[in-house]
């Protein structure tokens, strides 16, 4: 039987200053994990007992240096690659620069953080990696760069799952649909007809909450979830099932 003790297990969360990342950081801390948060800026509500480091995750050298230093202090049991940005340009307007900027944060930072923590996971022969993709990876109007980068997260995660399985390290993906975060509100304005149509099309007839994604992350990190790897979990109120792609 797998040991289910999680008290003090070290977990790294990127993009932890707000939205899903902040909710994940709080949930995992409440569950007993020793959580380290990363983001460009500190959360406005950061508590004195929380460990948080500021870094521009789109800067590969700064990110690699910080995460490698943190991993050298004590191995991480878990990694949640959540940091993301979402350019809102159409196919005609999308530029190579848009693609590069989306890839820097959504793909490159995920790779760098994973590479930095995996040696410690291999040494302990256990680990949980959860990468955040998006339902938009299946296609979404005006999200060319974002969709491409988030689809890349799925492919990279499936490959990592195969390479790391022998070390008892699982790699899974959560692909949220519309979630009430700052990123969603910026990219999908409430007054935009497409946003209204999207929310109306959700079978559960609402937008999700960051805490609901955090709950799924907690499930995937649990030691009892060790037989699930290489999977993508869509949390979108039923949009994927309904085959509506707005």
HEC sequence for 73-95: HCCCCEEEECCCCCCCCCCCCCC
How confident is the model over 183-193, as pLDDT tens digits?
A: 777 767 888 88
Fold of 10-242: Rossmann fold (3.40.50)
Kindly give, in sequence order, each residue whose CB lies less than 8 Å from that of residue 19, ignoring residues fewer than 6 positions away: 179, 181, 182, 183, 210
Partners of 196 in beta bridges: none
Kindly give, in sequence order, each residue whose CB lies less than 8 Å from that of residue 3, ignoring residues fewer than 6 positions away: 223
Q: How far apart are CA 80 and CA 87, in angstroms?
A: 22
Does the pLDDT at position 203 exceed 90? yes
Kindly give, in sequence order, each residue whose CB lies less than 8 Å from that of residue 18, ignoring residues fewer than 6 positions away: 39, 43, 181, 182
- Strands 169-176, 127-132: pairing is parallel
Model pTM? 0.92
Count of C-beta atoms within a 10 Å radius of residue 141? 14
How confident is the model over 51-104, as pLDDT tens digits?
A: 999 999 999 999 999 999 999 999 999 999 999 998 888 999 999 999 999 999
H or E segment at 35? strand 34-39
pLDDT bracket for residue 199 (50, 70, 90): confident
**What's the confidence (pLDDT) of residue 144?**
94
* Nearest in space to 100 (alpha carbons), one of 157, 148, 41: 148
Output helix, strand, coil percentages for the chain, rounded to the nearest 5: 50, 15, 35
Arithmetic mean of pLDDT over the chain: 93
Q: What is the DSSP letter of 47?
A: -
pLDDT bracket for residue 1 (50, 70, 90): very low
Q: Determine whether 146 is an active site residue.
A: yes
Which position among 33, 77, 146, 234 bears the catalytic label?
A: 146
């Amino acid at each position: 039987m797998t040991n289910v003790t999680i008290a003090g297990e070290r977990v790294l969360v990127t993009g932890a200053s707000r939205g899903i990342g902040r909710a994940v950081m709080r949930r995992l801390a409440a569950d007993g994990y020793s959580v380290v948060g990363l983001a460009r800026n500190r959360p406005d509500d950061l508590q004195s007992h929380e460990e948080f480091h500021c870094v521009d995750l789109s800067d590969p050298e700064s990110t690699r240096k910080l995460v490698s230093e943190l991993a050298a202090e004590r191995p991480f049991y878990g990694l949640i690659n959540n940091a993301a940005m979402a350019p809102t340009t159409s196919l005609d307007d999308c530029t190579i620069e848009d693609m590069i900027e989306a890839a820097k944060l959504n793909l490159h930072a995920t790779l760098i953080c994973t590479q930095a923590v995996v040696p410690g996971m291999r040494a302990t022969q256990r680990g949980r990696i959860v990468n955040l993709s998006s339902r938009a990876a299946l296609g979404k109007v005006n999200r060319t760069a974002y969709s491409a980068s988030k689809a890349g997260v799925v492919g990279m995660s499936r490959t990592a799952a195969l390479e790391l399985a022998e070390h008892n390290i699982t790699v899974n993906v959560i692909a949220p649909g519309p979630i009430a975060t700052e990123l969603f509100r910026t990219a999908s304005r409430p007054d935009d007809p497409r946003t209204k149509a999207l929310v109306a099309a959700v079978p559960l007839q609402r937008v999700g909450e960051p805490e609901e994604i955090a709950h799924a992350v907690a499930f995937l990190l649990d030691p009892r979830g060790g037989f699930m790897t290489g999977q993508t979990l869509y949390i979108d109120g039923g949009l994927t099932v309904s085959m509506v792609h707005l």
